[in-house]
Structure 1
Amino acid sequence: MNSPNPLDSSIPILTEVIAVNDPDERTYPSTVELATSATPATNLMDQQSWEELEKTLRESVLRQLLTRVDFVLEHRVRDSLADVLQTAVDGLAQEIRGGLSKSLEEIIQRTISQEISKLQSSNFKS
């Protein structure tokens, strides 16, 4: 079976010039032609317009970026904080278990010692 030709002749290639047969088609000057034919006053207005456009675009991009940075930063802080808190809670729980175990052991030993002392004193009295 023949594989399809990846370069179909009906599809234009980027480097291929496509002729337009429309008589109403307007041709627009290139940016080089515009720049060289402009008067200094028009050039100044164009420069001011470009600067205003650049400023507006820069502010818009920065605003969007800051919003995204805030979101990502908040998300990472929450994740990190959750990990830190979980580690702290685990450590605290181990300390409480250890302290409780030691306290219970001491209480049980003291209670047993007291009961033995009571039994011994009651045996000596009898």
Structure 2
Amino acid sequence: MSHDPAFDASIPVLTEVFAEPTAPGTPLAQPAPVVEAEALPPPAPVVAALEDAPEALERRAVDHWSGEQWSVMERRVTERILQQLQGRIDFVLEQRLRDGIADAVDKAMTSFSADIRNSLGDTLSDVVTRAVSQEIAHIRMLEK
């Protein structure tokens, strides 16, 4: 006789259904016959809840929730949305900062380059004018 050490006959298995005793000391009723789950139709409220779940939940909440429950729900939804959006907000903010800084640097470099070009052109013109004047003055001195 083989005996499974994990099986204890005194513990009912999941497929056994017992009726509640009517009085203390009354023995348990005999197990009900096992019926396959597929043979039983789902209870009507379950079917309605599955078909109409969002609307049913909303109606139940509107009819039965207190102001405190609504506040808790609002806080939870707000926190969840903020958490979901935080990564996107960070990305968009970083991108806008990069674009803004890039535009500002481009404008500053364009302005700075134009200022340097004008300043360098003026300086170069002054240097060439002085060099030509000095050379002409040197040639005149040699002629005399």
What residue is the counterpart of 2:44 in the other structure?
A: 27
> 2 CA distance for matches of 1:25 and 1:89?
73
Distance 2:71 2:141 in 1: 101
The structure with more radius of gyration: 2
- Partner deviation per Cα, 1:45-76 (whole Å, 9 max, x = no partner): x6466654442222111222233222212211
Unaligned runs of 5+ in 1: 1-21
TM-score, normalised to structure 1's length? 0.60
Give the paired residue count: 94
Structure having the higher helix fraction is 1
Flag structure 2 segments of 5+ consecutive residues without an equivalent: 1-38, 50-55
* Aligned-pair identity (%): 29
User: Who is 1:19 aligned against?
Assistant: none
What is the Cα deviation at residue 102 of structure 1? 1.1
Report the aligned-residue RMSD: 2.8
1:110 corresponds to: 130
Residues 12-33 of structure 1: per-residue CA shift (max 9 Å, x gap): xxxxxxxxxx74222117649x
- Residue identity matched to 1:110: R
The higher-RCO structure (CA 8 Å, 6+ apart) is 2
Specify which of 65, 85, 93 is matched with residue 65 of structure 1: 85
Letter in 2 for 1:104: L
Aligned counterpart, 2:35: none
Cα drift, residue 110 of structure 1: 0.3
